[in-house]
Amino acid sequence: MSIVSNSLKRIKPSPTMAVTSKAREMRAAGKDVIGLGAGEPDFDTPNNIKHAAIKAIKKGDTKYTAVDGTPALKKAVQKKFKRENNLNYDLSEISVGTGGKQVLYNAFMATINRGDEVIIPAPYWVSYPDIILLAGGKPKIVKCDERDHFKLTPGKLKKAISKKTKWIILNSPSNPTGTAYTKAEIVALAKILSKHKKIYILSDDIYEHITYDNFKFFTIAQIKNLKDRTLTMNGVSKSYSMTGWRIGYAAGPKEIIKAMAKIQSQSTSNPTSISQAAAVEALNGTQKFIKPRANSFKKRRDFVVDSLNDINGISCLRPEGAFYVFPNCKKLLGNKTKIKTDKDFVEKLLEKSQVAVVQGSAFGLNGYFRISYATSIENLKKAMSRIKKFCENLN
């Protein structure tokens, strides 16, 4: 009999981490691999944030803190929501965790009972379904069409809701597609959710500041009659290039926040004190670098989208945010090319052309692959050239 728990057997390792690990192994073996798998900005953490961390170390702020965040960081989060989203929260309605992933994990572990359903629009971030399964819930995957820009429509939402629905997850801008919901689109979904008083909403806003073409970000908690059952998750990893600092945060109903703290108290306890001090500076300090960095990502997006749409058999939408694209490769799959699935496609691309991407099926939608363009334009030029040559050799 296996010592591994049955609950753990329900989940799988992160596919994005697997691709990144494989690319790292190939590089160590001397291969010239271009990694387009990881969702990590290539910009460095701004100096003012680094200096805040150094100052905290020198002051001796190296002890345990409150389980779910220091008062200083909670106040910074509180100010952020008011300043940027016009949302008011008490400090008791705010939680800080070791990265956005832990915040999501805490929320679902604290609220899901066995058999509860969670609506997850696909394509989705790879960890959503596995966290739900680990918590004993049932992911209800709703496949969203490319013609709808991979967004959940009111009709599909209405059809997916059942008596067992406890949560719905909305991620905008999206990982893996980069598409983002307009205010009108969120309002349309909210009209459906307003009729179902027992459904809670998890809004994953981690890419809030990485948007393009004058897109106006809007989050569902800004709709008054849904705020009291919306948990809004965000963090410093993407906007502030602080992935390794591991700070995520959320604001929402006090009962959920308290339950999340209880979970955290028996797992990791508090996030690192130094990282919390740095995050205070990130949220309270200058925000001037955010827009120029987003503009840099936009240039990369445009180059990658234009390059992909110039490849026979590939088509790619132009997303509104994040630093991902989700190209369609269905025309290159099948008996003609001897590559049957998107997983075959990305494996052969890595093997033959040494470009690491992630198959769309890992995100719940077959026939696509995800590219992260959070790397230099030089790397992207080489990668697009290799992908084009690889696809031409398939035809």
Residue-wise pLDDT for 293-304, tens only, equals 999 999 999 999
- Backbone phi and psi for residue 82, each to the nearest 5 degrees, phi listed first: -70, -45
Evaluate if pTM is beyond 0.85. yes
The number of distinct structural domains making up the chain is: 2
Which pLDDT does position 9 carry in this prediction? 79
Instruction: Tell whether the model's pLDDT for residue 338 goes beyond 90.
Output: no
Asked whether residue 56 is assigned to any structural domain, the reply reads: no
Which pLDDT does position 266 carry in this prediction? 97
- Chain mean pLDDT for the chain: 96
Which pLDDT does position 54 carry in this prediction? 98
CB-based contacts of 66, cutoff 8 Å, min separation 6:
270
Distance (Å, rounded) from C-alpha 351 to C-alpha 5?
Answer: 35
DSSP 8-state symbol, 164: T
User: Do 118 and 239 belong together in one domain?
Assistant: yes
**What is the CB neighbour count within 10 angstroms for residue 262?**
14
19 — pLDDT class (breaks 50, 70, 90) = confident
Give me the mean pLDDT over the 383-389 stretch: 98
Distance (Å, rounded) from C-alpha 22 to C-alpha 28?
Answer: 10
- Which region holds residue 307: left if phi is over 0, alpha if psi is between -120 and 50, else beta? alpha
Which pLDDT does position 274 carry in this prediction? 98
User: Over the range 72-95, which residues count as b (16 or more CB within 10 Å of their CB) and which as e?
Assistant: ebbbbbbebbeebbebebeeebbb
- pLDDT one-digit tens code per residue, 342-359: 999 999 999 999 999 999
- pLDDT one-digit tens code per residue, 310-326: 999 999 999 999 999 99
Asked whether residue 248 is assigned to any structural domain, the reply reads: yes
User: Do 361 and 219 belong together in one domain?
Assistant: no
CATH of the domain at 243: 3.40.640.10
270 — pLDDT class (breaks 50, 70, 90) = very high
User: Do 265 and 331 belong together in one domain?
Assistant: no
User: Do 318 and 343 belong together in one domain?
Assistant: yes
- pLDDT one-digit tens code per residue, 360-384: 999 999 999 999 999 999 999 999 9
| Residue 285: C-alpha distances to residues 62, 80, 82, 143 (Å) | 21, 11, 15, 40
Three-state secondary structure call for residue 135: coil
Antiparallel, parallel or unpaired: β 117-122 and 138-143: parallel
- pLDDT one-digit tens code per residue, 166-191: 999 999 999 999 999 999 999 999 99
- pLDDT one-digit tens code per residue, 122-135: 999 999 999 999 99
Distance (Å, rounded) from C-alpha 248 to C-alpha 234?
Answer: 6
User: Do 154 and 102 belong together in one domain?
Assistant: yes
Three-state secondary structure call for residue 158: helix
User: Do 92 and 186 belong together in one domain?
Assistant: yes
User: Do 280 and 301 belong together in one domain?
Assistant: no
Question: Domain ends where: 239, 262, 284?
Answer: 284
What domain range includes position 245?
63-284
Asked whether residue 52 is assigned to any structural domain, the reply reads: no
* Amino acid occupying residue 369: F
Intra-chain end-to-end CA distance of the chain, in Å: 49
User: Do 215 and 348 belong together in one domain?
Assistant: no
